[in-house]
Amino acid sequence: MLSVVGGAAVCAADFLCMKKFCNYRINNQIIITVLFISVIASFFSIIHSSFPTNAVKMIGLLAFLSSAAFISSKNRHMPEILFISAIVFRIIIAVIDAVLLKTQCAEILIRDILGGIFGSGIVILINKFSDNYFSKEEVKIFTVMGLLSGYVCTYSSMIIALIVLFVIKMYMLYRQKKTINIRLEPVLLCGYVVSMIIYKG
């Protein structure tokens, strides 16, 4: 119940943020689609989550990645308010964990901080050897992803997303005989949803 209520609240706040601060028009189809995915994700997050706040974090990250995918589909830059909101959301969850879980709070927080370091670190490392393959916005996205899901889920989401990206690019190359520029955010959302279904956090 906590995950459903928390997830709905996060999604609602996310849409309001995008409409108020980012000036994006969000039609009903987008809202219904994201909410439907959130309901499905809530089911799996309840099953897989060891702690009640984990489910809320999973839905919060889903809302964040959905926003990133939507904004990238419009070929626009990610607003800083979106990243700031995600960090504030994580701090609020940490406070709730401290009140509800107490002794286990430190373990969860350390795991997620390591996830943030892993998420940003591995992308920065790849950039060192690939002439900045990932943009600064994508580095921030992986950092937020690590802070909200931990390093295991971040790693699995990244691997799944890169596999999906490779398959799509190969297919498009085969069909059109040329390389296609595909944004990472939508396939990362896909990778996270798959990871959410199979990952026990």
pLDDT at 29: 52
Using CA atoms, how far apart are residues 96 and 100, in angstroms rounded to an integer? 6
pLDDT at 6: 47
Residue 129 has pLDDT above 50, yes or no: yes
Choose among 7, 66, 35, 57: nearest CA to 199. Answer: 57
119, 122, 127, 129: CA torsion to nearest 10: -170
Residue that wins the pLDDT comparison between 136 and 13: 136
CA distances from 101 to 50, 109, 135, 177 (A): 11, 11, 37, 55
Q: For the chain, where are the E strands, in sequence order?
A: none
Q: Which band of pLDDT confidence, cut at 50, 70 and 90, is reported for residue 98?
A: confident
Taking the CA atoms of 129, 134, 161 and 110 in sequence, report the sign of the dihedral they define: positive
Residue 99 has pLDDT above 60, yes or no: yes
Mean of all residue pLDDT scores within the chain: 72
pLDDT at 1: 45
Q: What is the pLDDT of residues 3-56, one digit of tens each?
A: 444 444 444 545 554 454 444 454 455 555 555 555 555 555 555 555 667 777
Tell me which amino acid residue 51 is: F
Q: What is the pLDDT of residues 63-92, one digit of tens each?
A: 788 778 777 777 667 778 888 888 888 888
Measured N-to-C along each axis, helices 184-198 and 136-176 cross at an angle, to the nearest 10 degrees, of 100
Share of the chain above pLDDT 90, in %: 0
Using CA atoms, how far apart are residues 70 and 76, in angstroms rounded to an integer? 9
Phi/psi-derived region of residue 23, left when phi > 0, alpha when psi is between -120 and 50, beta in every other case: left
Hey, where are the domains in the chain?
2-198
Q: Which band of pLDDT confidence, cut at 50, 70 and 90, is reported for residue 191?
A: confident
Mean pLDDT in residue range 134-151 = 85
